[in-house]
Amino acid sequence: MSPASPGAPLLALDGIVKSFPGVRALRGVDLRLEAGEVLAVLGENGAGKSTLIKIIGGAQQADSGTLLLDGRERRFRSPQEARAAGVAVIHQEFNLVPALTAVENLFLGQEPTRGGLVDRRRERSEAEALFRRMGVEIDLDLPCRRLSTAQQQLVEIAKALLFEARILIMDEPTAALSAHEVEKLFAIIGDLRRRGLGILYISHRLEEIFTIADRVSILRDGMRVADRPMGGITRDEMIEHMVGRPLDQEFPARDRTPGETRLEAVDLRRGDAVRGVSFRLRRGEILALTGLVGAGRTETARLLFGADPRDAGDIRLDGRPLDLQSPRDAIREGIGFLTEDRKLQGLVLRHSIRENFGLPNLDRWSRRGFVGLRRERAELARHVDALRIRLADIEERVGNLSGGNQQKVVLAKWLARDCEVLIFDEPTRGIDVGAKHEIYLLMNALVAAGKSILMISSELPEVLGMADRILVMHGGRITGEIPDARHATQEQILRLAHP
């Protein structure tokens, strides 16, 4: 092991190469992270970000190249080795035991003892001091499954601080947070930066990069293609580096001429989550449903898809009342639902791409109880080409695909069903700007063909850029409608979201 070098960066990667069967994930990547710096790492899905994180965090080892901490060469053979060296990774899917409390999760595997027994008093005292230092309050007696997403994330950050991490890697940390929770998270990151931690920040939300990062490194096809201070790069330049070409318009223009009403919700109710929601969705229209996390948007969508029973209210399609007892009923009526969480609700990750694609279409491709595999494969191949899904083989596990390609598989299965009404719940969450643009083009093509889209989104630029009309929810109710999204502002939406 080489000695530490005075003045060396906190973390340095030189010429990192990593290959998998048939794929060269990293092609000689260099990267520098200084103490007290927030470095944003950007790139399309499949650019190599996840592989880079795993190598720094010890989950994988590079084929060649060097990793240095404080100028000293290291090679982590496990996440435990990386953590012992001061590297902590906070993944999109949290590494918490849901049934345990925040305190129990903090000290799991390193419980302090006294007289041969776990010292619960010391655990609680140290946990209280840690959260107090972070400036947050957590109910220490609740199991983590009952904490909000933002609170679970704070527990993950507290775990890193408890291990005295010097490098904190945050993967899509704001994906499921409200605007207020994002502000609180950024305040904590700012405090960690002032204490000298180096933070690698991975996100597809470009607007927040300018708020939180000091510098940006951009990957494309396994190579670093740009490394700039935030004051030396524009949003358009970042997009061009990521996708390898300029995007003329982030939100592609289209002719907006909605037709007659297709889907109508009348006084929908379910407990306190949905309280008297009524609206109309027209043919050839993108209707955005937005609001803060917990406003009731997804709960409303689940009623429209028959996933949850409604306490009251009516749903009509082309003026005809629908009796939706299950998602199967909704699918038969031509309603498709792109769920908010593609990994838990939209896909069966252990199954193949082909099997996931066929799930809502088995009745169309089956005869006498047997699936017509030739037709299924031919139909899938057509959608793979049309959507430009990157895959090695249709029998590959869908869980092996990048987030953007997983989202395209979900889209493909509903397109194959030829649904007339499509509910898109956070359609571009966790996917890169290039894949987003392709999904926006597809949405425009669908409504141009007369389909109707109800789009639920927390990203206000997306709402303003893609919707024809905007409905804003708060507390289970619709608190306002903006008839012409082209002339709306984020301030208008936020005022309606905080009535």
Domains of the chain, with CATH numbers? 11-243 (3.40.50.300), 249-334+419-499 (3.40.50.300), 352-415 (no CATH)
Query: Is residue 303 over pLDDT 90?
Result: yes
Residue 400 binned pLDDT confidence (cut-offs 50, 70, 90) = confident
Q: Which residue has the higher pLDDT, 292 or 99?
A: 99
Query: Is residue 225 over pLDDT 90?
Result: yes
How much is the average pLDDT of 49-78? Answer: 95
| pTM score, whole prediction | 0.69
Q: What are the pLDDT digits (tens) for 320-373?
A: 999 999 999 999 999 999 988 777 788 898 999 999 998 888 777 777 777 778
Query: Is residue 390 over pLDDT 90?
Result: no
Length of the chain: 499
Looking at residue 180, what is its pLDDT? 75
How are beta strands 64-69 and 72-74 bridged, if at all?
Answer: antiparallel
Q: What are the pLDDT digits (tens) for 176-209?
A: 777 777 888 899 999 999 999 999 999 888 888 9
Max mean pLDDT range (69-73, 239-243, 339-343, 436-440): 69-73
Cβ neighbours for 7, distance < 8 A, ≥ 6 positions apart:
none
**CA–CA dist 232, 217 (Å, integer):** 12
Looking at residue 2, what is its pLDDT? 44
* Cβ–Cβ < 8 Å for 111, 123: yes
Place of tokens 């899938």: 380
Query: Is residue 1 over pLDDT 70?
Result: no
Looking at residue 434, what is its pLDDT? 77
Looking at residue 223, what is its pLDDT? 95
Between helices 373-387 and 403-417, what is the axis angle to 10°? 120
How much is the average pLDDT of 443-460? Answer: 93
What are the tokens at 125?
């005292």
Residue 248 binned pLDDT confidence (cut-offs 50, 70, 90) = low
Provide Rg for the chain, Cα atoms: 24
Mean pLDDT (the chain, rounded) = 89
Residue 5 binned pLDDT confidence (cut-offs 50, 70, 90) = low
Residue 430 binned pLDDT confidence (cut-offs 50, 70, 90) = confident
Looking at residue 485, what is its pLDDT? 92
Closest to 360 measured CA to CA, from 389, 382, 334: 334
How much is the average pLDDT of 266-277? Answer: 96
Torsion, CA 240, CA 245, CA 251, CA 253, rounded to 10 = 150
